[in-house]
Structure 1
Amino acid sequence: MNAHARMMYLPDTMTNWPWPRAINPHFEDVKAEVDASFRDFKALSPESQEAFDKCDFEHLRIGSELMNVYFIVDEFTDSENAAGTKAMVDIVLDALDNPHKARPQGECILGEISRQFWARAIQTASLPSQRHFLDSYTAYLRAVVVEAVDREQSRRRSIDDYLKLRRDTCGAKSAFAVYEMGMELPDEVFYHPVIVELVDCIIELILIDNDMLSYNREQATGDENHNLVSAIMLELSLDRGGAMAWAARYHTDVEKKFIDGRSKVPSWGASTDALVKEYFDGIATWARANCCWSFEAQRYFGTMGPEIQQTRLVPVLPKVNYKDTSVVAQVNVTDLSKIDATVHREQPSGGLECLILWPQVM
C-alpha cells in the first residue's frame, strides 16, 4: 500500500558561525574503548543499542562517557511517567554524591553507570569544574522530571516558559564542564553575569538546532510537546514551515548576541583571560559539533543525513503508537531513503518560502 507524507524544510542556521567543524585526532581510539566498556552494562534493549551504536560522540574519555550517560538517561526516562522518572533521577543523584559506594543489588543500572563515570571523572577534574558540573547536572535531572510531568499531563508551554525549562533539559551546560575539567576557573569568573549570558547564548543555539532537527522524530513518536517548534506553532499560530523560519531568525539573533557579547568580557589577568578564551572557543565549537552530529550520526535522519544536510529537505515521518514498542522500532529513519518525492512550493504563514514535498513511500 502506498502512503503519502509531507517533507519539511530545515533552515541552515550555522552558515555564518565562525567556529568550523573540528574533531579530536584521538577520538576514534577513545570512542572504541568507551563504547566497549559501556556495552558491558547491557543496559539497552537490542533496538536501543542499535541506535546507540549509530551515534558518534566527539570527545575524549570523560566527554565520551558523559555523552553515553546522557544517552542512556534519555532512553530510560523518555517514556517513563513522572514518578518513575523521579525515582531514576534520585538514583543517579545518589550515585554522584557517593561515587565510591557500591550500589544496591537490583537497582536500576543508571546508578552504577553514573557512579563509575563520576568516580573516574573526579580523578582528574579540577575542583571548580566538579562543583559546576554537579550544580548544572542536578538542574538538568530535575528538569527531566518536570518534563516527565508535562508529558504525563500533556502540557504545552509558551515559548518563554518552554525555553526556561529547555535550557536545562538539553543538558548542554553540564556538558560544558568537560571543557574546564583541566582549568581552575574561579566562581567569580564562572558566575560573572557577562560569562553566564554568553554561556546561555550557546545553550540557546544548541537547543534551537536540536529541536529543529529532532522535531520530525519527536512528532512521529508523540513527544513533540517538548520542542521549540511546537511551542512556536502553538503560541504564534504558525504552521510548521513558519515555526521553523521563526526559530531560524531567533537563532540568528542569538548568534549576534554571542559574537557582540564577547567584547564585554572583563579581564581577570592574562592567565585567567586565556582560560576564558579557551573555554568559550570550546563551547562555541560545541554548537557547531551539535549541528554536525545531528546529520552525521543516524539518530534523526538514518543514512540520509549528509544528503539532508545539503538539500535541507526531510520527509515527515508518520505518527506511530509510542507505547507499543521502542522508539527505534517505531521510527525507522533509515526508511527515508526509500521515498520518491515530487516537489511543489507553498508559502507558510511565517512568510519564508518553504519547499513542501509530497513523497510516495514504496
Structure 2
Amino acid sequence: MDPRPRVICLPNTMTNWPWPRAMNPHYEVVKAEVDASFREFKALSAESQEAYDKCDSARLAGLGYPNASREHLRVACELINVFLIVDEYTDVENAAVAEAMVGIVIDALHNPHKTRPEGECILGEIVRQFWARAIQTTSLPFQRHFLDSYTAYLRAVIVEALDRDKAHCRSIGDYIKLRRDTCAAKPAIAIYEMAMDLPDEVFYHPVIVELVECIAELMLIDNDMISYNREQATGDENHNLITTVMVELGLDRSGAMVWAARYHTEVEKRFTDGLAKVPSWGPSTDVLVKEYLDGMATWARANHSWSYETQRYLGTRGLEIQRTGLVPLLPRVNCKASSAGAKVNVADLSMMDATADRKHLEAPDQPNS
C-alpha cells in the first residue's frame, strides 16, 4: 500500500468576488493592545495560548473592518477573541456544560457592569469586559441587533454540542441552516453598525436578511473547506459541510470540495442579484445601507483571506496552499483536553503539519466521476 499522505484539492472560491482584500491601518497597534489584554485573563494554558496566538485573531478584525476607527477596531478585535474563545471552550464540552457556559455568556452581555461570581468560568469576565467597552462608543440600534444575532449564535452552539454528543451528521439542508448561525457571521456583520443608527425596518427587511444569509453561507462554505483538514485531524469533522456532503452524496473529499465550490458560486450570484432588489429608504438612510452592504461583502473576502493567512487552519503553509490549492491530509491526533477546566488544548497546526510529508504534493485525491 502506498504510504504517502493523501492530498486534498482546495478550490479558490473567491477569484471573481468584486470586493478586494484590505487591511485596517490601525491593525498593528490595536493587535498589540488586545493581545496583551487577552493574555491577562489566563484563559488558556501556556501551550494553548502559544497556539492561540498563532491564530492572529486581530488580523481577522483588521481585514474584516478595514475602515473602522482605532476605537471601534479595538471593539472588533475583542469580539473576534470572544468568538474564538467561546468556540474553544464549548467545543470540548458536552451539551449540558456548553449550555451552562452559554448561560454565563448571555448573563454577562445583559449585565456588563455586574461583578462576575467568584470561581465562575472565565468566559463570563471576558465577555463582560468586551461588552462594557463596546456599549460606551456604539449606537443603540447596533447594540440591539448584535445581542439578537449573537444570542442566536450561542443557542446554535448548544445544538451543535447536542449533535456532537450523539455523533450526529445532519443533512446538507439542515446543516447549512444551523451553520448560518454557528459560523457567527451575523453578529460579525452587525459590527458594521457600530457607528450607525440603522433602523429596524432596514435590518429586518427580507431583502437585507437574505443578503446577510448569503454572506453567512459564503463564510461557512469557505471556512468549512479550509478548516476541514484541521477538523478531520482533531476528530471534529461532523460539523463541517465537506463531511455532510460526503455522507449524503457519497462523494470523496475532493468531490465534496468541488460540490462546495459550485454551491459557493451559486450563492455569490444570489448575493449580487439580491443587491439589485434593495429598496430605498431615503437618501440619508440609503448611504448607511450601502456602507452596511459593502461591509458585509468585505467580510466575506476577509474571512477567506484570513483563513489562509492565519495558522489556525493550515499551519504555516497557508499562503503556499492558497497558491497551489494542494493540502496534505493531516494524520489524526488527540489534541483536545477533556474539558475547559484543563484550560482547553488549542490545536497547534504548525506542529501537526510537520508530520505531513511535503514532497508528495503531486498525488491529490481525485473526485468521483
Is the TM-score greater than 0.5? yes
| Residue correspondence of structure 1 range 170-319 to structure 2 within 5 A | 170-319=183-332
Distance 1:268 1:179, change over 3 A: same
SS of the aligned residue for 2:168 comes to coil
- TM-score with structure 1 length normalisation? 0.93
Cα-Cα RMSD:
1.7
1:337-356 matches, within 5 Å, as 339-341=358-360, 343-344=362-363, 347-349=366-368, 351=369
CA deviation after TM superposition for structure 1 residue 4, in Å: 3.1
Q: What is residue 31 of structure 2 aligned with on the other side?
A: 31
Looking at structure 1, the residues matched to 198 and 284 of structure 2 have their Cα atoms a distance apart, in angstroms, of 10
The partner residue of 1:93 within 92, 101, 106 is 106
Per-residue CA deviation, residues 274-327 of structure 1 (Å, 9 max, x unaligned), is 101101111111101111101111111111111100000011111123556834
Instruction: Give matches, 1:26-65, under 5 Å.
Output: 26-56=26-56, 57=58, 58-59=61-62, 60-65=73-78
Pair 1:328-2:341 in alignment = no
Amino acid at match of 2:354: D
The normalised TM-score by structure 2 is 0.91
Query: Is this contact kept in 1: 2:7–2:328, CA < 8 A?
Result: yes
Indicate the residue corresponding to 2:129 in structure 1.
116
The SS at the match of 1:343 is coil
Output the CA distance in 2 between the equivalents of 1:66 and 1:323.
23
Query: What is the aligned partner in structure 2 of residue 17 from structure 1?
Result: 17
CA displacement at 1:125 relative to structure 2: 1.2
In the alignment, is the contact (CA less than 8 A) between 1:302 and 1:336 conserved in 2?
Answer: no
Q: Is the 2:311–2:350 contact (alpha carbons within 8 Å) kept by the matching residues of 1?
A: no
| Partner AA of 2:146 in structure 1 | F
Determine helix, strand or coil for the equivalent of 1:317: coil
- Give the counterpart of 2:148 among 130, 135, 138: 135
Q: List runs of 5+ in structure 2 lacking aligned partners.
A: 63-72, 339-344
Rounded to whole Å, the distance in 2 between the matches of 1:123 and 1:221 is 39
Structure-1 residue corresponding to 2:117? 104
Contact 1:212 1:244 in 2 (8 A): yes
Is contact 1:218–1:224 with CA below 8 Å preserved after alignment?
yes
Structure 1's unaligned 5+ residue stretches are 352-362
What do residues 191-243 of structure 1 show as CA deviations (whole Å, max 9, x unaligned)? 00001001111110000000000000101111110000111111111111111
Q: Assess if the C-alpha contact under 8 Å between 2:111 and 2:128 holds in 1.
A: yes
State which drifts further: 156-165 or 318-327.
Answer: 318-327
Structure 1 counterpart of 2:291, one-letter code:
E
Match of 1:8 in 2: 8
Structure with greater proportional strand content: 1
The answer for the alignment partner of 1:81 in structure 2 is 94
Cα shift at 1:333: 3.8
1:324–1:100: structure 2 CA closer, same or farther, 3 Å change rule? closer
Give the partner amino acid of 2:295: G
What is the distance in 1 between the residues matched to 2:307 and 2:349? Answer: 19
Per-residue deviation at 1:110?
0.2
Query: For the residues of structure 1 that align with 2:349 and 2:270, how far apart are their CA atoms?
Result: 39
Secondary structure of 1:8's match?
strand
Give the 4+ runs in structure 1 shifted more than 6 A.
Answer: none
Aligned twin of 1:356: none
Aligned length: 349
2:68 alignment partner in structure 1? none
Structure 2 residue 185 is the aligned partner of structure 1 residue 166: no
In 2, are the aligned partners of 1:303 and 1:337 still within 8 Å (CA)? no
* TM-superposed deviation, 1:47: 2.6
* SS class of match (1:176): helix
